Amino acid sequence: MLKINNLTVFYENAIALNDLSLEIGKGEVVGVFGSNSAGKTTLMNTVAGLTLHMKHREQRKGGERITIIGELNFEGENIIDTKPSYRVKKGIVLCRERHPVFRDCSVQENLKLGGYLRKDSNLGESIEFVYKLFPNLKRLSLKKAGMLSGGEQEMLTIGMALVAQPKLILMDEPLLGLSPLMQEEVVRAVREISKQGVTILLSEQYARPIMPIVDRGYVIENGTQIVSGTGEELMDNPEVKAAYFGM
């Protein structure tokens, strides 16, 4: 579904991604693991088109120079130079880290905003699926999103992405800052979303809670891939276990 070939991203003279290649097949759950500043968020933002948007914005105001090299082939089309809105229409939707929601809008309003690009009349069915996936959100549907806990905001962020009917959902550190109980909820949701046929690419620093649901994983450091394999293969790698699985 998505094939990334030799992707390199520079911010001025600092390299964020270095000749990175990886592949995500349709229906897979693929993890990208690495420490802080490894390049995980840059990868997610580049696939979603946000890095390109930032590049154009910086060019207009004469600010930071951003260079993007390589290919992003999504369903056979190289989308490296396409706008974020085009990628959303193609089915690529990003769940950004730290739960960005419309804080002054209710849960229900946030979910409706998640489907703003949709032209069909089945928005209500998608919202009901989100409520089935996260029953707490249904109970909180009239509450302002800014009043939710971090875990509840993460659920809402995922729900907003689902309402957009993604083919590929990008989850940037969905477990960041969550309690163990909330982490279990999010992991359960990721498993259920995958069962619906949605392809998932997610990034995490601490991989242990995610590993049971990952088909394949890549470990990156300083923007460079250092090891890849199935979840089982990564769990059997002593260095990977010590660095990312807390074992």
Residues of the chain with pLDDT under 50: none
Q: Three-state DSSP class for 162?
A: helix
Q: Three-state DSSP class for 20?
A: strand
Q: Rounded to two decimals, what is the model's pTM?
A: 0.91
Q: What is the pLDDT of residue 118?
A: 74
Q: What is the pLDDT of residue 246?
A: 57
Q: Are 198 and 164 in contact (CB under 8 A)?
A: no
Q: What is the pLDDT of residue 77?
A: 97
What φ, ψ does residue 57 adopt, rounded to 5°?
-65, -45
The whole-angstrom separation of Cα 20 and Cα 40 is 11
Domain boundaries, the chain: 2-99+167-244
Beta-bridged to residue 115, according to DSSP, are none
* Strand 168-172 to 199-204 pairing: parallel
- Residue 72 Cα to chain centre, angstroms: 15
Q: What is the pLDDT of residue 220?
A: 93
Q: What is the pLDDT of residue 237?
A: 80
> 3-state SS of 98-137?
CCCCCCCCEHHHHHHHHCCCCCCCCHHHHHHHHHHHCHHH
Fold of 2-99+167-244: Rossmann fold (3.40.50)
* Strand 14-24 to 2-11 pairing: antiparallel
| CA-based nearest residue to 186, from 202, 163, 167 | 202
Q: Are 206 and 246 in contact (CB under 8 A)?
A: yes
Q: What is the pLDDT of residue 66?
A: 94
Q: Are 93 and 166 in contact (CB under 8 A)?
A: yes
Residues counted in the chain: 247
- Residue 149 Cα to chain centre, angstroms: 20
| CA-based nearest residue to 244, from 231, 143, 24, 196 | 231
Q: What is the pLDDT of residue 244?
A: 67
| CA-based nearest residue to 35, from 180, 245, 244 | 244
